[in-house]
Structure 1
């Protein structure tokens, strides 16, 4: 067997392994996918269009979501005066808490997720999911850190919704 033939066979094996790995990676569901579906179901079943809670990332950070058919808008941020949002959450005024977090938060702490499909973050050419971490909204590109952050936010909201 010539060295050229060996190189060709090695190249074929490498290409096949890469294709198999890529297919497996695409087949894996994001961490946020089952959580987004659960939150959407909880909100739909309860008739609530919004939910808010303390974010588990920091003691002075909060998270809130608005649910529309097929879409979740989720924001997490810190506020200068957390007392008002704490009271709104305690009173079940979740939509107002969402508005406060979206508008009156400390700008550099705000994270806004637009989850079209309410099915977790998914990247790709056909994805319309957006992530805004303060530097402007961008289409979700498969960033595992953004997905993990979104999953953390969803867990806090699910705990509040239950």
Structure 2
């Protein structure tokens, strides 16, 4: 009888782990903001509910995403600025998408710092992501590592649940 109990216990643990992995990778996960790159929208230590299944759907400019950073082994939380087929450029501190100045009421400053005056035309399944904190040196994003492929998007931020006083849908 003991052998069956041990086997049952092991199978229960394995099943629980498989369910947890499924939920995390295909339904939702929790992300914790680390750093000030998304200030003033998000702050250090904010906790977010992120929808993992959204990585399989169309992601729109303006949405906040969790990505696998292309330059190290961390995850970054950034805002999608442009998607496949869009052309993005930087001129006189402005972000210009498809020839029009991007209206960004969520940024930390009216001026977007950019060293090169490059123009990007994004390929299908490419995204240009940036942090909301546009002060110099405050966000490592597509201005530095270039556009990202959709496969780098882990989830889409949906709701900030902590701190309680700042709960909001994103």
**What is the TM-score normalised by the length of structure 2?**
0.38
Which structure has the greater CA radius of gyration? Answer: 1
Q: Which protein has the bigger strand share?
A: 2
**What is the TM-score normalised by the length of structure 1?**
0.40
